[in-house]
Amino acid sequence: MARLERAGMARCAPKLNKKESNDKWLSDKGAPWKKLANEKPKGETIAYDTLLNAWKNGKVR
């Protein structure tokens, strides 16, 4: 879009907003959340019997 704005299209050239910090955009209502420090944590393996016993005892995470 910036390239089109610089090129100056004949009709209806895009007009971009000025650059602002991410904090400003993320603080707006309806904005997406900031990325977490650990966005995709490593998975863990649990033994089936342990998981089954936890489920029976009502201690499932």
Domain boundaries, the chain: 1-30
Q: Do 1 and 14 form a contact (C-beta atoms < 8 A)?
A: yes
The string of DSSP codes covering 1-56 is -HHHHHHT-SSS---PPPP--HHHHHHSTTPPPPPPTTSSPPP----HHHHHHHHH
Encode pLDDT of 3-61 as tens digits.
877 787 777 778 888 888 888 888 888 888 888 888 888 999 999 999 899 989 987 65
> What confidence score (pLDDT) does residue 9 get?
74
